[in-house]
Amino acid sequence: MVDLSVNLAGVTMKNPIIPASGTFGYGREFAEWYDLDILGSFSWKGTTAQPRTGNSQPRIAEAPAGMLNAVGLQNPGIDAVIAEEVPNIARIFHGPVIANIGGFSLEEYAENCRKLEDVVQAAILEVNISCPNVHAGGKNFGSDPESAAAVTRAVKAVTKKPVFLKLSPNVTDIAGIARACADAGADGLCLINTLLGMRIGLKDRRPVLANRTGGLSGPAVFPVALRMVWDVYEAVGKDLPIIGCGGVSSARDAIEMMLAGASAVEVGAANLRDPYACKKIIEDLPAVCEELGIDKISDLTGGAHDD
């Protein structure tokens, strides 16, 4: 029997498959389709200090082999999530949960994470540094090493939980940003977030998205995500676990991502196309592992790199 268990900074999961933030809500809708306890974990919807209604419509657009979204971090706010969503999560999922946290200032990131310190089921804090820094003219926290390190230090100062920084691919040197997070005390990394893109309507000659640009996800981004996971593993993978994310749609994709350096894998846009996507990947993993002669899936991490 194949051992599918993995460990992320001391958090043990029964398998490496995690629905990605923004594609799984807080689990409510998917719990109506299947037993969520089959999952290794899930990353809840990006949560900020205050409730957010998100961007104007339209905020979803089709793209070849993927989709664009400009939802805008719509969420009920951290206090409502703790009061209302966390108790429901405890009823529908009994494993460790990854809490995805956004923020528009260092203080907001820190305060959001501090409030989760006593939320037992939130086992890992996944800090999204693709948010714009309101004190730096809207420049994203994840766009340069200094800002990424500052968020890391601010969050690590208020929590004992493992902190994973979710990195943006819209940068020149993602490995440099990963190293900065590692040096600042990060316990792990998650990559990639969506790639910046847009569509234009041919008849009205206007951007399709009200926000003009949005984040590209889906199978189209898989080779980019794979390359970035490879680069980050080369930079810090011996020291920090990596959650690979971007275009994963099958068990074979998940294994490929782990060979590139991931210890676990998040599945995003595939959930929006097929609500059973993660369930199918988990069910397919043992057979694919047996076909490839894999007895313990955690042994795959970084397996494509030279020793």
CA distance 24 to 32: 12
- pLDDT value for 132: 62
- pLDDT value for 295: 97
Whether the pLDDT of residue 306 is over 90: the answer is no
User: What tens digit of pLDDT does each residue of 217-264 get?
Assistant: 999 999 999 999 999 999 998 889 999 999 999 999 999 999 999 999
Q: Which CATH number does 6-300 carry?
A: 3.20.20.70
Task: Say what the pTM is.
Answer: 0.96
What number is the average pLDDT over the span 287-295? 96
The secondary element (H helix, E strand) that includes residue 155 is: helix 145-156
- pLDDT value for 140: 86
- Asked if 181 is an active-site residue, the reply is no
- Which residues, listed in sequence order, are joined to residue 101 by a DSSP beta bridge? 47, 127
What number is the average pLDDT over the span 155-176? 97
Whole-number average pLDDT of the chain: 95
User: What tens digit of pLDDT does each residue of 83-103 get?
Assistant: 999 999 999 999 999 999 999
Using alpha carbons only, give the angle 217, 173, 124 rounded to the nearest 5 degrees.
60
Counted residue by residue, the chain has a size of: 307
DSSP letter, residue 130: T
- pLDDT value for 134: 52
The structural domains of the chain, with segments of one domain joined by +, span 6-300
CB contact at 8 A, 108 and 78? no
User: What tens digit of pLDDT does each residue of 107-161 get?
Assistant: 999 999 999 999 999 999 999 998 765 565 556 899 999 999 999 999 999 999 9
Alpha helices in 194-261 (DSSP H): 222-236, 251-260
- pLDDT value for 47: 96
- Which residues, listed in sequence order, are joined to residue 242 by a DSSP beta bridge? 189
Catalytic annotation, pick one of 131, 190, 245, 278: 131
- pLDDT value for 237: 83
- pLDDT value for 257: 98
Whether the pLDDT of residue 307 is over 80: the answer is no
Q: What angle, rounded to 10 degrees, do the helices at 222-236 and 174-183 form?
A: 40
